[in-house]
Structure 1
Amino acid sequence: MDCCTPANNAVTTKSECPSCGEKGKNVQLITLKSLLKASALEAIKPENSYVFCSNPVCSIVYFSGNGSQTFVENDLKVPVFPKKQGADVPVCYCFDWTRERLLQAVEADQKPADQIKAHVQAGRCGCEVNNPQGACCLGNVNSLVRDLKEG
């Protein structure tokens, strides 16, 4: 079972970010192990549960469920959607769909979400190790494509 299988996304425990107070979403330890730089990885406490903060103005990306440990954007190997606003920031980390590439696809009247969905259905995604949110990116892709079409 992978991150894009609905059963894996069904129920999540939520905690509040110690910096901004926004509710976060639990992520698997494998996500942090895959994406943290070595210096941050050395500080990880595997017995802790970790939560992703999606607030774009908050510098914290991950925090432990008990609030004793935090990791910020500079602790990660990749830019974090939705925290980084650049055109080159991935929205779909597995198949390299950046904001810019999505914009180009929308302008060319292509359907990037359908292409990504086909890869997901073929069992090719690895969002739990590629996406800092530790979850399927299709929601982010669909939301951004909708915004681009409306804008």
Structure 2
Amino acid sequence: MDCCTTSANSAVTATTECPSCGEKGKNVQLITLKSLLKASALEAIEPENSFVFCSNPECSVVYFSGNHLQTFVENDLKVPVFQKNQGTDVPVCYCFDWTRERLIKAVDTDKKPADQIKAHVQAGRCGCEVNNPQGACCLGNVNSFVRGL
């Protein structure tokens, strides 16, 4: 099952506290880290560990292992992290390159970016588990960001 598909049979995502800020994070698949970590960080990863994404914008940690022995920060990733970086050129939707700036421009022209993204998702074109640092569908981030404009 890909990350953008929902199912009543989906397992509940376990959460655990970030060793840096103490907030609960969400488990991410190892493929997410393998896809997004720079080579230097990837060389250090212990693949037998489970990993968790910390979405707290005030915390420097992006990923941490469930046993708290490994942490990775935004500089360890190939892409900026939407939740950690407020830049206008940072993707909100990683699969289809919808940055904050592009979303603002689309909303100003009455385009419906969320509808466009949703159509791509329904067509099976998303790859959020390998493109989005949080390892899950970006549509919730897009909708929240657009609502806040």
Q: Scaled by the length of structure 1, what TM-score is found?
A: 0.96
Instruction: State the shift of 1:10 in Å.
Output: 5.5
- Aligned amino acid, residue 68 of structure 1: L
- Aligned amino acid, residue 5 of structure 2: T
Structure-2 change in CA distance of 1:130 and 1:9 (3 Å): farther
SS at match of 1:34: helix
**Is the aligned partner of 1:48 residue 2:18?**
no
User: Contact (CA 8 Å) 1:3, 1:9: kept in 2 or not?
Assistant: no
**Is the aligned partner of 1:6 residue 2:13?**
no
**Is the aligned partner of 1:76 residue 2:77?**
yes
Instruction: State the shift of 1:9 in Å.
Output: 6.4
SS at match of 2:118: helix
Distance 1:13 1:68 in 2: 18
Q: Deviations over 1:57-106 (max 9, x none)?
A: 10000000111110001000000011000000000000000000000011
Distance 2:111 2:91 in 1: 18
User: Contact (CA 8 Å) 1:49, 1:64: kept in 2 or not?
Assistant: yes
Corresponding position of 2:27: 26
Q: Scaled by the length of structure 2, what TM-score is found?
A: 0.97
Report the RMSD for the aligned CA atoms in angstroms.
Answer: 1.1
**Is the aligned partner of 1:138 residue 2:142?**
no
Give unpaired runs (5+ residues) of structure 1. none
Give unpaired runs (5+ residues) of structure 2. none
- Number of equivalences: 148
Which one has the bigger helix percentage? 1
Alignment of 1:53-132 (within 5 A): 53-132=54-133
